[in-house]
Amino acid sequence: MLNIGLLATEAGGAAAEGFEAGWLTRHVWLIPLLPVVSFVVTLFFGKRFKGGGAWFGVSMMGLALLLSTALGVEWMGRGHVGIEEGQPPAVAATYRGTASGDQEHQVQQVIEEAERTGEPKASIPGHGEEGEEHALPAGRFSLPAAESGGEGPAGEPHAVEVRPYHEAEAGWFHIGPIEVGFGFHIDGFAVIMLFTVSFISFLVHLFSTEYLRDDRRRTHYFASLGLFTAGMLLMVSSSTSLQLLLGWEIMGLCSFLLIGHWWEESKNSDAALKAFFTTRTGDVGLLVGLSILFFGAGQTFNIAKINQQAITGEIPRSWLVAAAVALFIACIGKSAQFPLHTWLPDAMAGPTPASALIHAATMVVAGVYMVGRFYPVFFSAFRIANNALGFNIIALIGGITIIIAGLLAFVQQDIKKVLAYSTVSQLGYMVMGLGVGAWTGAIFHLFTHAFFKALLFMGAGSISHACWHSFDMRDFGGLRKHMPKTFVTFMIGTVALMGLPPLAGFWSKDEILLGAWTNGYRGTFFLVGCVGAALTCAYMTRVVYKTFWGEYKGPQTPDAIEHASHAAHGHHDAHDDAVENQAPALVGASAYQEGAKASADPGVKAAAHGTVQSERGPHDDEASHTADDHGDSAHAGAPLGGYPHESPWPITVPLIVLAVMSVVAGIINAPFFGLQFTHFSAIEPIVAAGVPEPSFSGVVAVISTLGALAGLGLAVAWWRGMRFGLDGLTRRNGLAGAGYRLLEQKYYLDALYERVIVRGIKGPMASAAYWFNQNVLDGVAHGVSATARRAATFTYDVVDQEVVDGTVNSVGAGATGLGRGFKHMASGKVQQYVAYLIGGAAAGALVIFAITFNRS
Amino acid sequence: MYLNEFLLLSAVLFSCGVYGVLARRNGVLVLMSIELILNAVNINLVAFGAFHGQVDGQVFALFTVAIAAAEVGVGLAIVLLIYRNTRSIDLDQVAQMKG
Amino acid sequence: MLAAFQAPHLDYAALGPEIVLTATLVVAICVDLALDERSKVWVTRITGLGILLATLPIFYLADQGISGEARVMFGGAYVTDTFALVLKALLLISGFVVFLLSFDYIGEGDYYEGEFAYMVLSSLLGMVVMASARDLVTIFVALELLSIPGYLLAGWRKRDQRSNEASLKYYLLGVLASALMLYGMSLIYGFTGSLVLTDIGAKLGGPAGDKPIVAVAIFLVIVGFAFKISAVPFHLWAPDTYEGAPTPVTAFLSVASKTAGFIALLELTFVAFLGRGDVTRPIFWVLAALTMTIGNLTALRQSNVVRLLAYSSVAQAGFILVPFAVATRDEAQEYIGSAVVYLLLYAGMNLGAFAVVIAVARRTRSGAIASYRGLFSYAPGLATTFSVFLLSLAGIPPLAGWYAKFAVIRSLFVDFSVAGAALGIVVAVNTAIAAAYYLQLIREMFFRPAEEGVDVRPRPHPAPLVAALGITLTLTVVLGFIPGVVARLGDLSTIFTG
Amino acid sequence: MAIIDGNVNLDNAVLSVATFAPLAGAAVLGLLPKREEFLVKAWALGTSVFTLLCGLYLVLRFDYGNAGAPQFERSHSWIDVINSNYHVFMDGLSLPLFLLSMVITTLCIIYSWDHWPEPRNPKAFLMLMLILETGMLGSFIAEDLILFFVFFELVLLPMYFMIGVWGGEQRQYASLKFFLFTLFGSALMILSFLALYFKSGGAGLEPTFDIPMLIERGMSDTLVRSTELLIFGGLFMGFAIKVPMFPFHTWLPDAHTQAPTVGSVILAAVLLKLGTYGFIRIAIPILPAAAKEYAPLIAVLATIGIIYGALGCLAQKDMKRLIAFSSVAHMGFVMLGIATLTDYGINAAVFGMVAHGLITGMLFFVAGSVKERFHTLEIRRLGGLLVQAPKLGWILGFCSMASLGLPGLAGFWGEFPAILSTFNPAEGLSVALFRTCMVIASIGTVLAAGYLLWLFQRTAFGTPKEEWATTEVHDVERPEWLAWAPLLAGIVLFGILPGIVFDITDPAVNERVTAAVVAQGK
């Protein structure tokens, strides 16, 4: 009756005839399980471990990384094995379609064939214990590269080797007539995501061991990291949409926990709330969309089935459109697309490694992943390959996001916020890529972006670690001399992000642009992409220049340190009062000063705890709980002599590894490297859906690179002092000034909205802004909660307490009033009683007489 | 037989009794008015008995007479009791309890 | 000229309870005369015993009667059928509980014990006779036999002006009501030529009953008993009398006397008047609706517990009238059953409520609702018991009262009609209103702290009172869970209709 | 006519024993001396544990392969004049709620061990709790309308006293409101029961109160439609007030806010379910045609309830009142599921009931413990709970997350499937209307996140307010752990393995509820 033996499912009966799934493919559940174990163990027993359970998490993630790498290798190898070993695949046909009209027919054939032969029913429905495996036979599909008119140079069709998927499902529960399964769907997309996520997560874990060494809630932090990773891994490997939702929401929870990790300050908890609330707003779309697809696809949560039916047109197109729009709303929320992007920069309130994780490989790419996963739905719904309108909502939102986020990045002083907007912008690329049909480009960009964005965030963390936990670029400068490793790796990340060849970003960005080019978006989204690339180069130049060039401008003496971190002190002390009876006096200004003196080696960190630790032992667990630190603000005493220092190995090693990846990740799909990425991109539903697969185009590459270089050149020139007569433009020219302010105020998305709603005053932007807010941005977290609270107060005070309650109460009052009236009847005088008696009798008699008299 | 005349007489007596009960403040007079009502009933019963040629009506009337005597006896006792306690037989004075 | 006197057939078994009661009455008077002041308590004991003894013939008869036929005497004027048996048992047991209540109440006050005992006994005798009376004369005699001692009992505390007032009001209105009733009876006799209910019933169904004046006559008879059951607008005596009379007497009046009134109404309605159901149904409909509603609403505003219970019992009468308001001849048994079920359950809970009032008054010497404040904190047992009765009166399951309410509501559906449905709504609304004032009392006892200066020491209660509480409490709780017993009794109570 | 089931075996007996054991325990408790407090507490705990063991025995003996069929059935003549029987059985619909009631009562007694509301009177308090338990248990197994009614109402009194005697400042108002609302509803309900009874007779059939028999007789086919609608209307009022549905919900926030902690827990965890259970067990299967007519109304009211409850929450300044209002929203999801009249919807509803019982019960426990420590529940005055009592704070966070429907925790399985099912209501219902409701209801989930997180942020995050800065606050204590651990475990367990509930309820929903609806459509 119970499905407790859930995960112990083994492929019941024979696997598909075409090939045999490798051991890891069949046991892929191990990968998400490891971080779950890490989470549970760390949460409940972490405090008993040395280091608060951090190293347990690191090792679990290391293991997960190993497994997922092995899985990747197995996956890449398997397809070849299947075919080379000569087991004739049940369906191994090569379609060469030339006319796009034929294609749909062909695809249907493929699917039908596949269904007939490739789907062994390994389980009897209703027996939850048994698993169900689907594995589509391998086949070779060849599809026309560009459907949309053969304009591009990539019109030549080329053969793509399709990787079938492997699916293992166990019964989870029954509801209604269907059995909902819990299982894993392994195809190239899932494999590459598993790898990326475990890779980044492992490095983030490692990085955090140092970065949050003395954090008070280190254990919680690592537990959350574990759960977060588990959520993402579960999501990318899930076979059902329900499970996808599960992973999706777990991430939402963990982002809440991580962003709000230092919840003592309301700024942080506000940001956490905002993140959760905004993404949750988008989730409405997910709930609705999944429901539509569930019924549309004949009551199934199975993603593969939904995709198949979306391709074959079994789901009515109107349903598909509704579902696609709904799902895309979820993507807007989760992947921080315009106009729900505002939570993401705020989310920088969390610890930097967590930001790296959120922004590089998990949370924010979940939306993109989801769209990619359900791509056949979107593809059919919006007719992406063959769109008469010339645009669709996905590409549009993506494009807008690229530009507006890119512009915002220019006016940020906080290095993390620049990176945050950069993330938003890059996510815009991915979304736009999906919108223009460059599926491979989008997920490839997702893959490469993970490395260099993680690198940049961790680099920023490293810088901040060295500079008294400031993230303000005005405090930096000239750091290339002090932090060579960080500098070099950061530079690599920057160049990768800029999309300059031959680093990773180039290859993936190029594919997206190529898609836009070949799929008929040459005049619009291709252009947007190039402008975006130029913007990226420019603002990253700004960051690099402000951080690494020039002179160091940060505080240099302990006095200044104390001053700088004074604000942070106030509440720390309050904490210590409450926490575990440790003497708060020990942690204070004197602690910092003494610590600074006592610490002989600038490389050994955490001198700030000198006093406390010397009393209780430097590695005492208790001490690290007490000692007041919140990572970011607590290591303020570290740099001696007034200058920043290079970070220790747990920080630099991840940087170096990521730098290497940022260099090589792009190459794997380079034409000269044999397009190895097709192992992961040429997956069954995508190919079947007829998503075009353009081949490399030199023209596009040159144009995009030129665009990027233009941006870079201008920016470098600017920072070298060439002002082009633009200096002070914002002061001189009203329009430019307004533009600047617009950026500075983040398009007034947050600020104006709050001002208008909360204060109920019509601001200077008056009706236009009000209209904008009311109609366009109703989802923005603050606005909704303010309106809701207002409405709630009204409903509660007026409707509930007055009307509904009032009615009830007045009925009661009426009853007692009547009672009072009747009470007067009994006056106490006996003859009055007699009168009532006689009167009643007489009246009654008369009435009765009259009535009966009439009748008779 | 003129039944209607008897009935009319009875009705008039009945009405007089009712009037007395309602209008008189004196307890004893109220008791007497009640006697009037009961006698109206008796006239009815006897008249109907005769009309039907039965003794039933007269038997009932006898019962009524007897019981009326008992009732009035009890009534007088109560009025006396009140008189002893309040030195008044004005029924309007007897109104301590109300509501 | 006398026809040869033929002694009527006397069924001594059927007259058993009456004979035992009469004998007890005689013995009590004699004993009272013989004993000196200190031994007067024996009179009460003998009376109590007599009442218990009087139930024995009922059990014997029940054993015979359930399968056998009704025993008819005096040409149909006196009938012992299952209906009579059930209600006689009810009356006797109620009477016995009243005795338990008054045992110490009368003993502790400076009252006349012997007289009290046989006054109650005579009244009880009248009631028992009423249960068997099936002609107008017998009904009238029974009514007066049960009423006249009642007038005297109400004024039992003769030095107390309130008691005098209670007595006077009860008396005056009672006499007037019986006068109206008699007038109505005389008219009915005139138009049907018979005093026996079955004959009247037969005639009223025919052309003789078609005259308007007959309808008026029926109404007047009903008014006479409407007074007895304190139906609005003939209820005004009840609160004052209940308040002024000694509490055990009040209990007696509100339960036994009211039951007797309903017995007469049941007999009259279902045997004699249903031929003119078109007349009785509207009368009872209006009476029921008015009685429930006004009784309940007025009760909301009371500040004295006894008055509150008085109005509550007015309202309860309204509920009992519901089956009358929709009664038809075809399904007569359903309606009689509902009313009987209500009477049976009502007796237990209402007597219990008065028993608690007596017990509380022993401590606080007050009947004000305010004096019940915080009762739970110093007398949790009494408070809990009282709430059981009150909630039962409110009809809250699983206390017995729910089935009473259920039974009358159910009767509305037997022959579904619009009028019935309308009355159903009235009943539903009234149930909620009634709950409000019962809860008000509970609130005082449970939710509020006791006032300063209240004697909060535990105090023992006299055994008879405890016994009375025990009996009523047990019945109220147990019958709530197994209402089938009462339902069965109601179902068995068939009135002999010739 | 009495149906006497000759097959009296141990299992059947245990079902009745489990139901009446608390009542018997309460009776014995009444005889124990009030001063022997330990004895009193131990006896009460022993009784509830015994009951729970009986329940567990039944859970073990339950035939899961046949969850839709009546099990442990027992029928004994009760009030034979009206053909009402003591007919009880357990099936997949009853089992989860039956067990939930037992568990919650036992945990409440454990929690109460050291937390007695003022005026302190453990004996009376525990007696009420045990009486309450019998009422709850009986309601979930009664298969006779009259029997159901008696148990349904049996619950009313103890709760009334619990609120009235041990409640907060406005306890008198709240308890009276609770009582009168419910009483009004049940008055209409009993009218409908009677109408069903009389209408079920005729054509050689004896009228009956027996629920399965009424379902079998297909009342929807024999009744005139207008009559049927009236009867359903009565049932609707009775159950909707208990649920409570908008706009009959106003008693709920008051009752919850004023009730003592344990009272709130029982009220939220079990009592509200009596209403929804009534819909599923009685109203819909007996009168499926009328249910279809009413379904749009129910759906709309449920949707309004979801939004309205959430808005109500956002306006609250008091933690407990906020949680109370959240019940309105959550029960809205349950009712929305029911309104679809589909397998999905009703399964979701049953799951929602269980989940809401666990989660909101837990939230009320936490609120009670916060109140005990800070003597206030005013959100403005609280803050930094995570600093002063981190475990308590995180439990609050956990429950908030569960309550807002986070997948992987129990709340999700009541919420998402309900939304899902609304997309595709039963045949014959307005698709457009239901889909609109679906979208609005899903917005409700966002609002839920809003108010719960806002609550959590304001109370648990940040630093303690000045007035509590020096207060010694103890973290979760042993009785609290003992009482809470099963609930917390349940929330996770049901969240991960929803099949535990769905697999039991699904056959029952199919066979006992939707079968009637589907048959009606043909």
Per-residue pLDDT of D197-226, as tens digits, reads 888 887 778 888 999 989 888 888 888 888
Cα–Cα distance, A83 to A90 (Å, whole number)? 11
Confidence of residue A252 (pLDDT cuts 50, 70, 90): confident
Host domain of residue B16: 3-88
- Helix or strand run (H / E) with residue C119: helix C113-132
Chain A residue with Cα closest to C166: A830
Instruction: Say what the pLDDT of residue D351 is.
Output: 92
Domain for residue B99, yes or no? Answer: no
C-alpha angle D242/D247/D253, rounded to 5°?
65
What confidence tens digit (pLDDT) does each residue in C447-479 have? Answer: 888 877 777 777 788 888 999 999 999 999 999
What confidence tens digit (pLDDT) does each residue in D372-387 have? Answer: 888 888 888 887 788 8
Nearest to A363, CA basis, from A446, A435, A456, A239: A446
In chain A, the largest separation of any two C-alpha atoms, in whole Å, equals 122
Q: Is the ipTM of this complex over 0.85?
A: no
Confidence of residue D119 (pLDDT cuts 50, 70, 90): confident
Q: Does B1 touch chain C (CB under 8 A)?
A: no
Domain for residue D363, yes or no? Answer: yes
For chain A, percent of residues with pLDDT exceeding 90 = 0
Confidence of residue A15 (pLDDT cuts 50, 70, 90): very low
Domain for residue D2, yes or no? Answer: no
Of A826, A833, A844, the CB nearest to C219: A844
Instruction: Say what the pLDDT of residue B44 is.
Output: 92
Q: How many domains would you assign to chain D? A: 1
Instruction: Say what the pLDDT of residue B13 is.
Output: 93
Q: Does B2 touch chain A (CB under 8 A)?
A: no
Confidence of residue A471 (pLDDT cuts 50, 70, 90): confident
Q: What is the 3-state secondary structure (H, E, C) of C137-153?
A: HHHHHHHHHHHHHHHHH
Instruction: Say what the pLDDT of residue A806 is.
Output: 59
Average pLDDT rounded to a whole number, residues D252-277: 90
With 70 as the cut, is the pLDDT of residue A99 above it? no
With 50 as the cut, is the pLDDT of residue D458 above it? yes
Plot region of A351 (φ>0 → left; ψ -120 to 50 → alpha; else → beta): beta
Residue D142, SS3? strand
Q: Write out chain B residues lying below 8 Å of A835, CB-based.
A: 22
What are residue A161's phi and psi, to 5 degrees? -90, 120
Instruction: Say what the pLDDT of residue B65 is.
Output: 94
DSSP state of C372: G
* C62 half-sphere exposure, CB direction, 13 A CA radius: 16
Of C180, C283, C297, the CB nearest to A815: C297
Q: Look at D114 and A676; give whichever has higher pLDDT.
A: D114
CB contact under 8 A, B92 and A829: yes
**Which of A265-269, A835-839, C266-270 is the most confident on average?**
C266-270
Q: Does B95 touch chain C (CB under 8 A)?
A: yes
What confidence tens digit (pLDDT) does each residue in C176-226 have? Answer: 999 999 999 999 999 898 999 999 998 888 887 788 888 999 999 999 999
What is the average pLDDT value for chain D, to the nearest integer? 87
What confidence tens digit (pLDDT) does each residue in A411-456 have? Answer: 777 888 888 888 888 888 888 888 887 888 888 888 888 888 888 8
Instruction: Say what the pLDDT of residue D81 is.
Output: 84
Chain A residue with Cα closest to C181: A841
Q: Write the CA distances from A580 to A54, C146, D387, integer angstroms.
A: 22, 83, 10
Nearest to A841, CA basis, from B22, C138, B95, B7: B22
Whether the CB-CB separation of A459 and A486 falls below 8 Å is answered with yes
CB contact under 8 A, C165 and B56: no
Q: Does D247 touch chain A (CB under 8 A)?
A: yes
What confidence tens digit (pLDDT) does each residue in A586-606 have? Answer: 333 333 333 333 333 333 333
Confidence of residue A797 (pLDDT cuts 50, 70, 90): low
CB contact under 8 A, D438 and A797: no
What confidence tens digit (pLDDT) does each residue in A269-304 have? Answer: 888 887 887 888 888 888 889 888 888 888 888 888
Q: Look at A406 and A637; give whichever has higher pLDDT.
A: A406
- In D189-275, the DSSP E strands lie at none
Lowest mean pLDDT among A82-91, A831-840, B30-39, C424-433: A82-91
| Residues of C contacting chain D (CB within 8 angstroms) | 337, 376-377, 380, 391, 396-398, 402-403, 406, 409-410, 412-414, 416, 424, 427-428, 431-432, 435-436, 439, 442-443, 446-448, 480-484, 487-488, 490-491
Average pLDDT rounded to a whole number, residues A169-191: 79
Residue C135, SS3? strand
CB contact under 8 A, A825 and C298: yes
Please name the residues between 753 and 812 in chain A that touch chain C, using a CB distance below 8 Å.
Answer: 812
Host domain of residue D447: 10-521
Domain for residue B60, yes or no? Answer: yes
- In A65-147, the DSSP E strands lie at 131-135, 139-143
Instruction: Say what the pLDDT of residue C306 is.
Output: 92
Confidence of residue D186 (pLDDT cuts 50, 70, 90): confident
- Neighbouring C-beta atoms of residue A648, cutoff 10 Å: 16
Domain assignments of chain A as residue spans, ordered by start: 399-556+645-665+697-733, 560-637, 750-822, 825-856
Average pLDDT rounded to a whole number, residues C165-179: 91
Average pLDDT rounded to a whole number, residues A87-108: 37
With 70 as the cut, is the pLDDT of residue A733 above it? no
Please name the residues between 54 and 83 in chain B that touch chain C, using a CB distance below 8 Å.
Answer: 54, 56-57, 59-60, 63-64, 67, 70-71, 74-75, 77-79, 81-82
Q: Write out chain B residues lying below 8 Å of A829, CB-based.
A: 91-92, 95, 98
Q: Write out chain C residues lying below 8 Å of D77, CB-based.
A: 484
Domain for residue D241, yes or no? Answer: yes
CB contact under 8 A, A784 and D450: yes
Instruction: Say what the pLDDT of residue A783 is.
Output: 45
With 80 as the cut, is the pLDDT of residue D108 above it? yes
Whether the CB-CB separation of A367 and A334 falls below 8 Å is answered with yes
Cα–Cα distance, A768 to A754 (Å, whole number)? 15
With 80 as the cut, is the pLDDT of residue A731 above it? no
Instruction: Say what the pLDDT of residue D104 is.
Output: 94
Average pLDDT rounded to a whole number, residues D79-98: 90
With 60 as the cut, is the pLDDT of residue A136 above it? no
Lowest mean pLDDT among A189-198, A233-242, A265-274: A265-274
* C20 half-sphere exposure, CB direction, 13 A CA radius: 20
With 60 as the cut, is the pLDDT of residue D171 above it? yes
Nearest to A231, CA basis, from A205, A219, A249: A249
Q: Write out chain C residues lying below 8 Å of B41, CB-based.
A: 179, 182-183, 185-186
**CATH code of residue B69:** 1.10.287.3510
Nearest to D269, CA basis, from D50, D96, D391: D96
Domain assignments of chain C as residue spans, ordered by start: 16-492
Q: Does D184 touch chain C (CB under 8 A)?
A: yes
Mutate to test the interface with A, among C168, C181, C187, C219 (most CBs of A within 10 A): C219
Of A820, A837, A849, the CB nearest to C212: A849
Instruction: Say what the pLDDT of residue A386 is.
Output: 67
Of D386, D463, D499, the CB nearest to A173: D499
With 70 as the cut, is the pLDDT of residue C154 above it? yes
What confidence tens digit (pLDDT) does each residue in B12-62 have? Answer: 999 999 888 888 888 888 889 989 999 999 999 999 999 998 888 999 999
**Which of A591-605, D302-316, D336-350 is the most confident on average?**
D336-350
What are residue D86's phi and psi, to 5 degrees? -80, 85
Lowest mean pLDDT among B63-77, C418-432, D292-306: C418-432
Nearest to C305, CA basis, from C257, C353, C348: C353
Cα–Cα distance, C360 to C389 (Å, whole number)? 14
